[in-house]
Every structure is written in C-alpha cells, then in structure tokens.
Structure 1
Amino acid sequence: MQLDLKQIVTAFMILFAVIDIIGNIPIIIDLRKKVGHIQSGKASIIAGIIMIIFLFVGKSLLSLIGIDVNSFAVAGALVIFFIALEMVLGITLYKEDEHSSVTASVFPLAFPLMAGPGTLTTLLSLRAEFAIENIIVAVISNVLVIFLVLKTSAKIERLIGTNGINIIRKIFGVILLAIAVKLFAHNIKALLA
C-alpha cells in the first residue's frame, strides 16, 4: 500500500467540489425544516458506503456492459463539466424531485445529493488516474467533512451567509471546470491512442 499525499489531497478536493456539501447547505437547511431532524451520522455513513462500494464494483459493472474506464472517465468529465457550469453560472440543468419523508437522511440526502451520479462518475474517473487506497482516504475524509457540515449546517449558514455560500460555489465551480478539462484531455488521449 503506497499512500501519496498529493493524490489524496487532489482526490479529496475533486470529490469535495463535486459533492459540493457547502453549496448544498441551503438544501440541507430546507430539508431539515421539512422533516424536522436529519440523522447526520447515518446520512454520512451511507453516502461513504455507496461511494466505496461503487469504487470497487463500478469498474466490473462497466465491463459487464462493455464499457472501459477511459470511456466512462470521458463521460464523467462531461458530467463534471456540466455540474461546474451549474455552479459557476448559477443555473440548474438537472433538478431532482423534492421529497419530505422520514427517510430524508438516506434519500435524497445520502443519495443522490452526496453520493449522486456526479460523485460516482468522478470516483471512476479518479480510479483511472489515482491509486485506489488514496481515493479511499479521500472518500473517508470527505465523509468526515460531510458529517461535520450536516451537524453544523445552521451555524455555518449564519457564519458565512448566503453571499459567502454563493462565492464558495463559484470558486469550486471554476476549479471543477479545470478538472473536467484535464480529465477529458487525459482520457480522450488514451481512447484515441
């Protein structure tokens, strides 16, 4: 097992930007108002389990349907690109149905809000470039951040304010755009070679 701090930090930042837990604070607060209570620990653990399982099974699932990791990574780069556009431009290209049930900690919070299509696509894209143990450390680190943010979402909102959250979203959006371009360029070369 070879842990690489640079890979861990890069994978952490990419996942942090895609999960966009800070940008999702308004959604979390709205959900909390609708259902009364969110089980922060349960939501975080379930999101982490979904991500780690997909990290291991996702590649086999793809090969079962005849898709290689580079093709999936190119598709993932496009998904990340559109997520980043949403963040930077403040538009919504894809809208989830709203749910207000007692299972809000699992659905829609853990899945698809945190461990959604963008995150799962990103995990396989990362797997094409980084060592799996470094990605796992990055996932676990993100799960801890998700837990802390869920636990303190009301305080964070008061501290940062709506404008602060919007600024953070736009900064991470630009970072994601750059990451999407890099992932696309790297994997398209592998496909065309």
Structure 2
Amino acid sequence: MVQFSFKEIVSVSLILFAIIDILGSIPIIIDLRRREGIIQSEKATLVAGVLMIVFLFLGDGILRLFGIDFASFALAGAIIIFLMGMEMVLGIHLFHSNPAVKTGSIVPLAFPLIVGAGTMTTLLSLRAAYALPNVLVGILLNLVFVYIVLKSSNWLERKLGQNGTEVLRKVFGVILLAIAIKLFKTHVSI
C-alpha cells in the first residue's frame, strides 16, 4: 500500500528545491540560451528527471560498479561547477559547443546544474529517510518548477534587462565558485 504523506512531500520538495536552486541558476540559463540560441526546456527537464530517478534507485550501485567513491564523483562535479563560475565571472568561454549540435540543454544544464553531485547525494539521503512515493512526488514537483523557469528564461531576461542580467551573472558566478570550493573542501581529505 502506497503511503503518501503531505508533510513528507513538503519536506522532500523543499530540500530538493534548495539543493537544485533553479532560481539561482537563472543567469547561467540565460547565458546558455544566448550561446546555444535556444534552451530545450522539455529535453532538459526530462533528462534531469530521468537522471534523478535512475540515481534514486541505482546511484550507490552505479558508483560501485565503476569503482568510484562518492567523494571522487562530487569532486568531478565541483570542477565543472568551478569552470562554469569562472566563465560567468571572467566573461570567457571554456565550454565550446559545436553550433550544429545543441547539447547545452543536457550538459551543463540538466547535468550538473540541475542534477549535480549535491542533488544526487541528497536523493540517496532522502531515499533513506522518507517513503519512496513521497520522494518521487517531491522530485516531480521540483521538475515542474524547473520546467517553468526554463520555459520563461526569455521573459526573465527581458524583465532583468542587459545590465540586470550581467550583474546577476557575475554575482552568481562568484556563488558558483564558492559552491565548487565548498564541495572540493568537503570531499578532499588532506
């Protein structure tokens, strides 16, 4: 029998909302849309959802299969996030894309921005602490919100204007750098 709990659904949803931080990613989304010409909202949301569900069920096993400890996985995500932050702060492009192949909706948007090491770690923790149906509903609610933000990125950019977007880009670039350094410090044992 499926045990839905409103309290657990709200808790899971809020925890994932804080970790995914799609609102904080708006400058990156706008920048990606500028570079790629379009953000494929449906594709990014679908891939993020599949990644979350797969990792929820198979995360530990997948990492063990490849002989990867979670700290190494988190460090790889930290490096990607660090490089994205450097791009935003310095106004340079480290991730070059082939204009004919639009992959920005998958990497870096769906992974590691929406579903990064923090989200994956959180999913494993949530699976241990909450009933599975409530975790799945929390994931679904977050994916709906992610889709709405991705779909409205053009409108958000118009509302922010060029200067507002640029200021947000720099500020969130520094925040991304700080997140990457925190991830790095947390998972490096010296």
Normalized against structure 2, the TM-score is what? 0.68
Give the match for residue 117 of structure 2.
122
Cα distance in 2 between the residues matched to 1:131 and 1:56: 11
Post-superposition offset of 1:21: 4.3
Mark the CA change 1:142 to 1:188 in structure 2 (over 3 Å): closer, same or farther.
same
Cα distance in 2 between the residues matched to 1:11 and 1:135: 14
Deviations 1:53-74 (Å, cap 9, x if unpaired)? 2454343222111111112112
**How many equivalent residue pairs?**
176
Post-superposition offset of 1:142: 4.9
Mark the CA change 1:26 to 1:176 in structure 2 (over 3 Å): closer, same or farther.
closer
Deviations 1:144-172 (Å, cap 9, x if unpaired)? 34322343333222211222222222222
Cα distance in 2 between the residues matched to 1:5 and 1:152: 21
Give the match for residue 46 of structure 2.
45
Matched AA of 1:152: S
Deviations 1:152-193 (Å, cap 9, x if unpaired)? 33322221122222222222222222222222222223xx6x
Is 2:169 the counterpart of 1:174? Answer: no
Cα distance in 2 between the residues matched to 1:6 and 1:148: 17
Deviations 1:110-160 (Å, cap 9, x if unpaired)? 423421355554346644995356987775455334322343333222211
Cα distance in 2 between the residues matched to 1:21 and 1:166: 11
Give the match for residue 186 of structure 2.
186
RMSD of the TM alignment (CA)? 3.6
1:26-37 correspondence to structure 2 within 5 Å: 27-28=32-33, 31-32=37-38
Cα distance in 2 between the residues matched to 1:137 and 1:175: 29
Contiguous gaps of at least 5 residues in structure 2: none
Cα distance in 2 between the residues matched to 1:144 and 1:10: 15
Give the match for residue 29 of structure 2.
24
Post-superposition offset of 1:11: 0.8
Cα distance in 1 between the residues matched to 2:118 and 2:186: 15
- The SS at the match of 1:83 is helix
Contiguous gaps of at least 5 residues in structure 1: 33-37, 101-106
Give the match for residue 143 of structure 1.
143
1:36-185 correspondence to structure 2 within 5 Å: 40-41=41-42, 43-99=44-100, 108=103, 110-117=105-112, 119-123=114-118, 126-127=121-122, 131-132=126-127, 140=140, 142-185=142-185
Matched AA of 2:185: A
